[in-house]
């Protein structure tokens, strides 16, 4: 799928509105997330265009900003030909060790028509202790979970959805509304409760919230290795717009 440059920029800005780093800067057409947390999207630098080869001076300026903050530089690079020379140039100094991530787009209308979700969903403007407990529970890294909850709590124009079973929160998600898109983040379901339609119910709730706001387009990010989640998102009408990987300075 080929997206217009304006849509790519809108999605990237909306992503960092929903997953906001401690400090956000813009340098030579790149957004720099300057953050010490574990969330890759919040502590990496990303280009706002995918068609222009980045200048060496831009990368040097980005590296200098991370060094000034005492942070290791991380570049979030799209899998497109325009960035082949950059990847080759930084390979001696950076490692590409992450699982590729798919940026997927869809429509709110298709999301609203997703079948398989019948659970009651609670939607709030802020994440409470029950919502956070899923990130800190069995099956998830508690350090990473705590970092993700803290970062998502900084977001504006987001809602936080949860599903309870037997009085306990077992599934959660976050939706951010920015740049004319609804971005879906932080989808988690307790391992023992997967396969019950909790995630589908949460996605349906986000579609309703988007419709109230007059938003027609949706996006999300999912690891290429997470085939189970991709199956659900495919049913909801999502398809891949581009793929990226994190390159971390050694």
CATH of the domain at 132: 3.40.630.30
Task: Say if residue 85 is in the same domain as residue 125.
Answer: no
The answer to whether position 249 is within a domain reads: no
Identify the domain boundary among 101, 118, 138. 101
Q: What is the pLDDT of residues 112-171, one digit of tens each?
A: 999 988 899 999 999 999 999 999 988 889 999 999 999 999 999 999 999 999 999 999
Task: Say if residue 163 is in the same domain as residue 72.
Answer: no
The answer to whether position 114 is within a domain reads: yes
Q: What pLDDT was estimated at residue 237?
A: 97
* b/e 215-229 (16+ beta carbons within 10 angstroms → b): bebbbbbbeeeeeeb
Task: Say if residue 156 is in the same domain as residue 88.
Answer: no
pLDDT beneath 70, residues of the chain: none
Q: What pLDDT was estimated at residue 54?
A: 85
Instruction: Specify whether the backbone of 201 is left (phi greater than 0), alpha (psi in -120 to 50) or beta.
Output: alpha
Task: Say if residue 48 is in the same domain as residue 171.
Answer: no
Task: Say if residue 114 is in the same domain as residue 15.
Answer: no
The answer to whether position 49 is within a domain reads: yes
Identify the domain boundary among 66, 101, 136. 101
| Whole-angstrom distance, CA of residue 146 vs CA of residue 80 | 33
Number of domains in the chain: 2
Residue 50 C-alpha from the chain's centroid: 18
Please give the model's pTM, rounded to 2 decimal places.
Answer: 0.95
Task: Say if residue 94 is in the same domain as residue 113.
Answer: no
Task: Say if residue 112 is in the same domain as residue 97.
Answer: no
Q: What pLDDT was estimated at residue 55?
A: 86
Task: Say if residue 147 is in the same domain as residue 56.
Answer: no
Residue 154 C-alpha from the chain's centroid: 14
Q: What pLDDT was estimated at residue 224?
A: 96
Boundaries of domain holding 165: 105-243
Q: What pLDDT was estimated at residue 189?
A: 96
Task: Say if residue 134 is in the same domain as residue 51.
Answer: no
Alpha helices in the chain (DSSP H): 5-18, 56-68, 84-90, 108-112, 129-135, 142-153, 198-212, 227-235
Task: Say if residue 87 is in the same domain as residue 119.
Answer: no
Task: Please check whether residue 205 is in contact with residue 108, taking contact to mean a CB–CB distance below 8 angstroms.
Answer: no
The answer to whether position 192 is within a domain reads: yes
The answer to whether position 250 is within a domain reads: no
| Whole-angstrom distance, CA of residue 139 vs CA of residue 126 | 23
Query: Is 76 buried (19+), middle (13-18) or exposed (0-12) by CB count in 10 A?
Result: buried
Task: Say if residue 115 is in the same domain as residue 239.
Answer: yes
Tokens of 161: 């959805």
The answer to whether position 91 is within a domain reads: yes
Task: Say if residue 234 is in the same domain as residue 150.
Answer: yes
Identify the domain boundary among 44, 76, 101. 101
**What interhelical angle do 198-212 and 227-235 show, nearest 10?**
50
């Amino acid at each position: 799928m080929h997206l217009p440059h304006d849509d790519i920029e809108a999605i990237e800005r909306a992503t960092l509105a929903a997953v906001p780093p401690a400090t956000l800067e813009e340098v030579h057409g790149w957004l720099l997330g300057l953050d010490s947390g574990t969330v890759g999207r919040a502590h990496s630098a990303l280009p706002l265009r995918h068609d222009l080869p980045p200048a060496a001076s831009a990368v040097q300026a980005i590296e200098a900003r991370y060094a000034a903050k005492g942070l290791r530089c991380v570049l979030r690079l799209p899998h497109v030909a325009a960035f082949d020379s950059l990847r080759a140039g930084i390979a001696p100094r950076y490692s590409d060790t992450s699982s590729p991530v798919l940026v997927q787009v869809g429509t709110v209308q298709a999301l609203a028509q997703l079948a398989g979700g019948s659970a009651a969903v609670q939607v709030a403007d802020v994440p409470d202790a029950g919502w956070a407990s899923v990130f800190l529970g069995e099956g998830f890294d508690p350090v990473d979970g705590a970092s993700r909850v803290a970062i998502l709590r900084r977001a504006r124009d987001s809602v936080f959805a949860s599903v309870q079973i037997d009085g306990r929160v077992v599934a959660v998600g976050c939706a951010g509304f920015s740049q004319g898109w609804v971005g879906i983040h932080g989808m988690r379901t307790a391992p023992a409760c997967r396969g019950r339609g909790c995630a589908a119910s949460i996605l349906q709730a986000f579609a309703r919230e988007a419709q109230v706001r007059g938003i027609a387009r949706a996006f999300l990010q999912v690891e290429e290795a997470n085939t189970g989640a991709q199956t659900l998102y495919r049913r909801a009408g999502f398809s891949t717009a581009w793929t990226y990987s994190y390159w971390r300075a050694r």
